[in-house]
Chain A
Amino acid sequence: MKGIIFSEFLDLVEEKFGLEMVDHIISSSDLESQGVYTAIGTYNFSEMLQLLQHLSKSTEISIDQLLLIYGEHFFRVIEDSYPGLLATYKDPIEMISSIENHIHVEVRKIYPDAELPTFDVLEKTENSVILIYKSSRAMHHFGLGLMNKTFEHFNATPTIVLEKIKEDGTEVRFIIKN
């Protein structure tokens, strides 16, 4: 997992819960990296899981909820770092539909070894889209957070229904209507 996911996560934890919380979840976890993350490095996903579990325990907020917030937070990173990418889209449905074919292609240019989830478009109309999310990481709520912020960015208020196809959350259907 790319280091930027860790570093941005820890920045968010520090912003929301203070440096003590950061220090707490790092020292509570058994981390190969000793909690040292740089955006361009690559780290084990299990470290993220441990950090999330400890944060959830300490704050009594569910992991999905934490991921949703993190997703919403991560949109800002995209907004700040890659404004050109967002500028090429005029419509949120259009942008979300092209995650697989455009956005992830751009991601791979910067992080060639990134392990990305897949978003297959099942159905698409002018103002609706059905996507199938697949990832061993089951981080669908991170995606949901990103989507929420995307619509917000385009001043839209859609309904997003999330249906788990597999119980463990590795395969999920997003039904989006604008």
Chain B
Amino acid sequence: MSQTQNDILKRALDREKAARKQAEKILEKKSSELFQLSKQLKETNFRLENLVNEKTSQLQGVFENIIDAYIVFDLLGNIVKMNDAALKLLDLETQSDTLNLLKIAHPNEQDRVIQAFKELLEKGSVTDFYVKIITSKGLVKWVHINCSLVYKNKEPIAAQGIARDMTESRIQDELIQDQKGELDVIVNNSAIGIVLTQKGHLVRTNKLFQDMTGYTEEELQGLTIKDLSLAEDFPKSKVLLDQMIRGEVDNFTLNKRYKRKNGSIIWAKTNVNAVRDKNNVLRYQVALIEDITSERETELNVNLINNVTKSILDKTEIHDIALEIVNNLGDYLESEDCVIFLINPDTEVISQIATFGSKQGSEKRIRMAKTLKIGQGIVGAVVKTGVSEIIPDTSKDDRYVKDKVRAYSEITVPILSKGKVIAVIDSEHKEKNYYTKNHVKTLEKVANLVAFKLTTALDVIERKKAEDRNELLLKELETSNNELKEYAHVVSHDLKSPLRAIDALTAWLKEDYKETIGAGGNDNIDLIRANIQKMDTLISGILEYSTISGNKVDFYEVDTDKMVDDILEMMLLPPNISIVKESDLPSINGDKHRLQQLFQNLIDNAIKYNDKEEGLIEIGVEDENDFWKFYVKDNGKGIEKAYFVKIFETFQKLENNPDSSGIGLSIVNKIVKLYGGKVWVESQVSVGTTFFFTLKK
């Protein structure tokens, strides 16, 4: 072996040694690491073992101390093992070897138990199984069972179950049901509507609320507060509800309207209370609802009657009165349309005289408003019958006369005076079934209340018309009187001058041709002149008569005693007549000239128609309370009774005497009447006549 080979081998050997040492070193290190690991492993194992033991004993404890009954049974249902709770549940003293689950089950439950056992074997577990059992003491108990299979090497070997006695809780449940039933009785017999809502939806309602609204409980459950509220009222309750949701308030009360199933409205006082959970979040709202429709109605009625009475008190004009009535009624009825129609009995036309909401200056509008004939439309029908009407749905009433838009409800109430319809109150509303019997009652009350006032206003109108008419007549009369007077004056003057000419001419004729015309001619001329004389007297009488008129000349005190003396003095008395004043005559308020005419005419007549040799005329007076009763008595020819009235008429005379105009007594009559007195005559033919007349003191 060469040196080179030796060196190679030596180096190879050195490498091998070094490799071995290196390997040993690595192994030592690994061995030490292994030792540490195994040590740790031992400690861990020890701890695990302890844990397992602990858990096992805990489980044992759990098994024994578990409150619920725990039973282990084989796959045939035979009980293998059970805890104390299970013994107690089954009323057993000690563990029995031969107890099978099927024997424990109530006879009625056998099928269900078998079914459940099958399910256990197929699915490996049964949960929430409720079953009735009979204990060894014969007690029936309700138990709740959860059970599962126990496996060994993936093969089921037994089953375990936990049973809980639910008998107590069943009893509790029944008790709660009973109490709930009692509560329901209270709620359902409450005199106040009770509603439980959640987020605006009705969850529960009581009987009274169902009756109040006319819905069934099921129907109400599908509804919201909004569905039941009137659109006008909802915003108000929404504000309060939102405050409640935000937790700002816990309860509130408001008066609002509810829509009933039939569409009518009720007013209710609503008290809403919040029911919150422990986080203060609103869960429910309980509303107590009290129907205040009739109370409200009464209050409104009283207010309405007061308001109407007050507001028409100082009104006299019929349009003003009607306007106050419709404005008050419109507010009360909460309708935009309320009208009063007035009936004109002459034309049989019914016309609007006031509409709700119109102002004083709306005469024009009223004038343009519709008019109806009696019998036309619902208003016209009510005028005819005098009986109030409610139309719940105008679309089903042929009589309805549409104005601009159809209103579905209408109420029409007559205003009667002495049994006759003088006016009609009429209101319309856009919704059906709006007006109630209470509305009719109230409107009828108002109609009664205002009937008198309206009648008075109508009378005022009538009187005004009559006054206007009289004034006109009076004016016409005055004019024609004046015309007449003037005419009489003109005629008499114009007639008198040719008469005077004829008189003068006939006088000359007689003087100049007395001889020529002979006795016959003279007689005729005398006759002509007598007639001319007669005509002159007539014309003078007319003149005189026409100057006595209603115009009151200045009145002053006239001493009639002195006045009669003056008259007698001025007169040329025939020698056979004597005149006697029986008593002193009084002073009279009047016009001397007239009074003189009065007395002179009567005395003239007494003289003129006296046929006795010794004529006697007596003048006197008697006191008759407010009046003086004068008389002029004669013992002349007398007058037949048939002429007692006729003699006072113009141009009536009993004899054809050219000196008599037939106007004297009519002038007497006219003057006495002018002074507010009376004139009459008492007479006996050929014995004498007495003229009486009275004059105001």
* A interface residues (Cβ-Cβ under 8 A, vs B): 7, 19-20, 22-23, 26-27, 34-41
On whether the beta carbons of B12 and A40 are closer than 8 Å, the reply is: no
Q: Which of B14-22, B196-204, B501-509 contacts A (4 or more CB under 8 A)?
A: B14-22
Q: Across the interface, which residues of A come within 8 angstroms of B22, CB to CB?
A: 36, 38, 41
B26 CB contact (under 8 Å) in A26, A34, A36, A38: A38
- How far in angstroms is the closest Cβ of chain B from A95? 30
Q: Bits for B5-36, please: 1 = Cβ < 8 Å to A, else 0.
A: 10011011001001110110011000000000
On whether the beta carbons of A23 and B11 are closer than 8 Å, the reply is: yes
Size band of the B side of the interface? 10 to 19
On whether the beta carbons of A37 and B19 are closer than 8 Å, the reply is: yes
On whether the beta carbons of B9 and A40 are closer than 8 Å, the reply is: no
Select the residue from A37, A38, A40 with max chain B CB neighbours within 10 A.
A38
Assembly CA distance A23 to B23 (angstroms): 21
On whether the beta carbons of B18 and A34 are closer than 8 Å, the reply is: yes
Assembly CA distance A22 to B5 (angstroms): 12
- B305-345 CB contacts (< 8 Å) to partner A: none
Assembly CA distance A40 to B12 (angstroms): 19
On whether the beta carbons of A40 and B19 are closer than 8 Å, the reply is: no
Q: Across the interface, which residues of B come within 8 angstroms of A20, CB to CB?
A: 5, 8
* 8 A-B residue pairs with CB within 8 Å: A7-B19, A19-B12, A20-B8, A26-B15, A27-B11, A36-B19, A38-B20, A38-B22
Q: 9 closest A-B pairs (Cβ-Cβ)?
A: A38-B23, A36-B18, A23-B8, A38-B19, A36-B15, A38-B22, A36-B19, A40-B26, A35-B15
Assembly CA distance A23 to B26 (angstroms): 25
Closest to B9 in A: A19
Q: Across the interface, which residues of A come within 8 angstroms of B26, CB to CB?
A: 38, 40-41
- How far in angstroms is the closest Cβ of chain B from A142? 22
- How far in angstroms is the closest Cβ of chain A from B18? 4
- How far in angstroms is the closest Cβ of chain A from B7? 8
- B539-586 CB contacts (< 8 Å) to partner A: none
Q: Across the interface, which residues of B come within 8 angstroms of A37, CB to CB?
A: 19
Assembly CA distance A41 to B20 (angstroms): 11
Select the residue from B9, B18, B19, B22 with max chain A CB neighbours within 10 A.
B19
Q: Across the interface, which residues of A come within 8 angstroms of B8, CB to CB?
A: 19-20, 23
- B56-73 CB contacts (< 8 Å) to partner A: none
Closest to A18 in B: B8
Q: Across the interface, which residues of B come within 8 angstroms of A38, CB to CB?
A: 19-20, 22-23, 26
Assembly CA distance A59 to B5 (angstroms): 20
Closest to A21 in B: B8
- How far in angstroms is the closest Cβ of chain A from B4? 8
- How far in angstroms is the closest Cβ of chain A from B28? 12
Q: Across the interface, which residues of B come within 8 angstroms of A41, CB to CB?
A: 22-23, 26
Q: Across the interface, which residues of B come within 8 angstroms of A36, CB to CB?
A: 15, 18-19, 22
Assembly CA distance A40 to B11 (angstroms): 21
Closest to B16 in A: A36
Assembly CA distance A40 to B19 (angstroms): 10
- How far in angstroms is the closest Cβ of chain B from A114? 15
Q: Across the interface, which residues of B come within 8 angstroms of A27, CB to CB?
A: 11
- How far in angstroms is the closest Cβ of chain B from A166? 36
Closest to A10 in B: B15
- How far in angstroms is the closest Cβ of chain B from A5? 14
Assembly CA distance A23 to B27 (angstroms): 27
Q: Across the interface, which residues of B come within 8 angstroms of A23, CB to CB?
A: 8, 11-12
Q: With A23-B11, A23-B12 known to touch, is A40 a contact of B27 (CB < 8 Å)? A: yes
Closest to A22 in B: B12
- Besides A34-B18, A38-B26, 7 other A-B contacts (C-beta < 8 A): A23-B8, A26-B11, A27-B11, A35-B15, A36-B22, A40-B23, A41-B26
- How far in angstroms is the closest Cβ of chain B from A4? 11
- How far in angstroms is the closest Cβ of chain B from A121? 35
Select the residue from A23, A27, A35, A40 with max chain B CB neighbours within 10 A.
A23
Assembly CA distance A39 to B19 (angstroms): 9
Select the residue from B5, B20, B23 with max chain A CB neighbours within 10 A.
B23
Assembly CA distance A26 to B18 (angstroms): 15
Assembly CA distance A39 to B20 (angstroms): 10
- How far in angstroms is the closest Cβ of chain A from B224? 66
Assembly CA distance A136 to B19 (angstroms): 28
Assembly CA distance A35 to B8 (angstroms): 13
Assembly CA distance A42 to B5 (angstroms): 29
Assembly CA distance A36 to B23 (angstroms): 10
Closest to A40 in B: B26
Closest to A23 in B: B8
- How far in angstroms is the closest Cβ of chain A from B590? 158
Q: Bits for B353-389, please: 1 = Cβ < 8 Å to A, else 0.
A: 0000000000000000000000000000000000000
- How far in angstroms is the closest Cβ of chain B from A104? 22
Assembly CA distance A40 to B9 (angstroms): 23
- How far in angstroms is the closest Cβ of chain A from B30? 8
- How far in angstroms is the closest Cβ of chain A from B3? 13
Assembly CA distance A7 to B5 (angstroms): 21
Closest to A38 in B: B23
Q: With A19-B9, A20-B8 known to touch, is A34 a contact of B15 (CB < 8 Å)? A: yes
- How far in angstroms is the closest Cβ of chain B from A25? 12
Closest to A35 in B: B15
Assembly CA distance A38 to B5 (angstroms): 23
Select the residue from B15, B18, B20, B26 with max chain A CB neighbours within 10 A.
B15
Assembly CA distance A35 to B80 (angstroms): 74
Assembly CA distance A23 to B5 (angstroms): 10
- How far in angstroms is the closest Cβ of chain B from A36? 4
